[in-house]
């Protein structure tokens, strides 16, 4: 599969490619170009024309095209989900379910821009007319764990606001995003206004980040990647919107229903093989119920069905790559070396598959209890005795993305939620909660900007301009 620049399917200028590997089989399923500096520059120059062309479209015209794209995404959902399953290793039903958000987001932003109104601020004698204009060129850096879903969270508002967009997919999962861009062109987005560049983030992403021709960057990825992009973008004062790593805690209080909580934990960590920024990565369990909770969790995890992502019976697919599985195995071994006990799993099975893993006797001083983010189906259990202790353990992490509190006492849960340093806290649930509308952003090393979501993203993708008519009143 090739890149799309100026509506053309193109190879890299030097013909170098990247293999796309199915992590469930180890097979090369596709190749994509390894873009060069020349390719990136061509895309940037094309986007300069694209921002003028697309920015001149009336909101109603942009809305019509976005609605058409939403319809086409629904019609072609099987093809998109198949590509994502092959390159990401997630189960086909999980990949297919992402299309629901895709359609809702493109439809939602189409409706928002139809009803987007300027503001008039009267003064004693003057009239102040406040309008919103596109940023210009927006680079959307898409992560591997939700290449279709998060494509839409970024691209839909950027296009709705009138920006030209350059999509940079993850190297492991580029094909679904290329397909998504092709749909937008077929739906009517001008070829100059939407492009996709493939290649390694350390090369292509950095070129885009440091270019003075870029006006905004929205990235979901690791904290290290976010810091790198921010440092390069700062040279041009480019607006940066970052959703980064997390090590979210789930605080299980002594009054929590164990069976109900275990199911929540399963939903928050088995899904996508635990490769979710807001998954419950630290389980803080009150010592009075820790033994019973651990026993129930192990019993449930032993029944998890892993295997072929296309098999309807499969509950958990593979990680995104064999290298990712190797990394999780090293992190588990590191935690055991620090004194934890692995009472279930702990090893890579084959290719990108990793066993559901439970780590008992994890203490607050261990790396996994602080800043070691494990992107896989690993369940570290940390005991605590008081609410204050649970909050302290949670807040000792440099991350602050989301989190959850399991309790029968809503007031107690809210009181704790107010003390947690994170972008969101879910009472009666895990941190793995996100609606299309809510602001989604992190605190501390987990993010920068006001966040994604239909209540805020158009503002992130626009700039305000005040036009003043003196002596108009």
Tokens of 26: 């180890």
Please indicate, yes or no, whether residues 211 and 266 belong to a single structural domain of this protein: no
Is residue 403 domain-shared with residue 361, that is, in the same domain?
A: yes
Domain encompassing residue 400: 249-427
Contact 87, 20 (CB under 8 A): yes
Q: Taking residues 8-32, report their average pLDDT.
A: 97
Tell me the whole-structure pTM to 2 decimals: 0.97
Please compute the mean of the pLDDT values over residues 179-205 and round it to a whole number.
Answer: 95
Residue 270 and residue 415 share a domain: yes
Q: 235 and 123: one domain? A: yes
Contact 29, 86 (CB under 8 A): yes
* Mean pLDDT rounded to a whole number for the chain: 97
Q: What is the pLDDT of residue 117?
A: 87
Tens digit of each residue's pLDDT (9 = 90 or more) over 292-349: 999 999 999 999 999 999 999 999 999 999 999 999 999 999 999 999 999 999 999 9
pLDDT classification of 241: cutoffs 50, 70, 90:
very high
* 233 and 255 co-located in one domain: no
Tell me the per-residue pLDDT of 439-470, one tens digit each, with 9 for 90 and over: 999 999 999 998 899 999 999 999 999 999 99
Domains contained in the chain, number: 2
pLDDT digits (tens, 9 = 90+) for 65-115: 999 999 999 999 999 999 999 999 999 999 999 999 999 999 999 999 999
Task: Give a yes or no: residue 462 inside a domain.
Answer: yes
Q: What percent of the chain has pLDDT over 70?
A: 100
The residues pairing with 26 across neighbouring beta strands, listed in sequence order, are: none
CA 31 – CA 418 distance, rounded (Å) = 48
157 plus 141 within the same structural domain = yes
Query: Phi-psi category of 345—alpha, beta or left, where left has phi over 0 and alpha has psi -120 to 50?
Result: left
d(CA 216, CA 83): 28
Place of tokens 């992130």: 460
H-helix or E-strand spanning residue 427? strand 426-427
Q: Which helix (H) or strand (E) holds 66?
A: helix 59-75
450 shares its domain with 415 = no
Other CB atoms within 10 Å distance of the CB of residue 230: 17
Do 40 and 150 lie in a common domain? yes
Host H or E run for residue 415? helix 410-417
Asked if residue 52 lies in contact with residue 281, where contact means CB atoms within 8 angstroms, the answer is no
Model confidence at 268, pLDDT cuts 50, 70, 90, reads confident
Mean pLDDT of the 418-423 span: 97
Residue 437 counted as domain residue: no
Residues 6+ apart with CB under 8 A from 299: none
Q: Are 442 and 399 in contact (CB under 8 A)?
A: yes
Same domain, 174 and 302: no
pLDDT tens per residue across span 366-415:
999 999 999 999 999 999 999 999 999 999 999 999 999 999 999 999 99
Q: Is the pLDDT of residue 437 over 90?
A: yes
Classified as helix, coil or strand, 78 is helix
Contact of 170 with 122, CB cutoff 8 Å? no
At 201 the pLDDT is 84
Q: What is the CATH number of the domain that holds 309?
A: 3.40.309.10
């Amino acid at each position: 599969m090739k890149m799309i620049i100026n509506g053309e399917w193109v190879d890299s200028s030097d013909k170098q490619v990247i293999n796309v590997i199915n992590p469930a089989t180890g097979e090369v399923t596709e190749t994509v170009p390894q873009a060069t500096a020349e390719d990136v520059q061509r895309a940037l120059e094309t986007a300069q024309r694209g921002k003028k062309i697309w920015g001149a479209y009336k909101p109603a015209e942009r809305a019509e095209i976005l609605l058409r794209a939403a319809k086409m995404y629904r019609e072609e959902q099987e093809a998109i989900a198949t590509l994502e399953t092959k390159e990401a290793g997630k189960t086909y039903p999980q990949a297919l379910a992402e299309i629901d958000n895709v359609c809702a987001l493109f439809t939602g932003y189409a409706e928002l821009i139809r009803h987007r109104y300027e503001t008039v601020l009267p003064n004693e004698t003057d009239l102040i007319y406040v309008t919103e204009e596109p940023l210009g060129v927006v680079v959307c850096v898409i992560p591997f764990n939700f290449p279709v879903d998060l494509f839409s969270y970024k691209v839909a508002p950027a296009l709705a606001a009138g920006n030209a967009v350059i999509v940079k997919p993850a190297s492991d999962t580029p094909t679904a995003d290329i397909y998504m861009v092709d749909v937008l062109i077929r739906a009517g987005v001008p070829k100059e206004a939407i492009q996709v560049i493939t290649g390694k983030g350390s090369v292509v992403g950095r070129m885009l980040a440091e270019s003075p021709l870029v006006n905004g960057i929205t990235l979901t990825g690791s904290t290290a990647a976010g810091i790198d992009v921010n440092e390069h973008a700062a040279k041009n004062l480019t607006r940066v919107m970052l959703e980064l790593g997390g090590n979210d805690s789930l605080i299980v209080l002594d009054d929590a229903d164990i069976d109900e909580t275990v199911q929540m934990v399963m939903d928050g960590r088995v899904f996508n093989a635990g490769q979710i920024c807001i998954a419950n990565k630290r389980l803080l369990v009150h010592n009075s119920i820790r033994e019973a909770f651990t026993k129930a969790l192990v019993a449930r995890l032993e029944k998890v069905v892993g295997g072929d992502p296309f098999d309807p019976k499969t509950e958990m697919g593979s990680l995104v790559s064999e290298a990712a599985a190797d990394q999780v195995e090293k992190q588990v071994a590191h935690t055991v070396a620090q004194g934890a006990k692995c009472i279930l799993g702990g090893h890579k099975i084959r290719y990108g598959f990793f066993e559901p893993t439970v780590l008992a006797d994890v203490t607050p001083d261990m790396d996994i209890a602080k800043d070691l983010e494990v992107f896989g189906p690993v369940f570290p259990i940390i005991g605590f005795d008081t609410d204050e202790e649970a909050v302290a353990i949670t807040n000792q992490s440099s991350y602050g993305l989301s989190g959850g509190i399991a309790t029968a006492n809503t007031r107690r849960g809210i009181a704790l939620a107010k003390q947690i340093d994170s972008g969101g806290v879910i009472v009666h649930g895990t941190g793995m909660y996100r609606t299309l509308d809510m602001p989604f952003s992190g605190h501390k090393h987990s993010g920068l900007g006001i966040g994604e979501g239909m209540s805020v993203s158009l503002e992130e993708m626009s700039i305000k301009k005040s036009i003043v008519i003196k002596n108009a009143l």
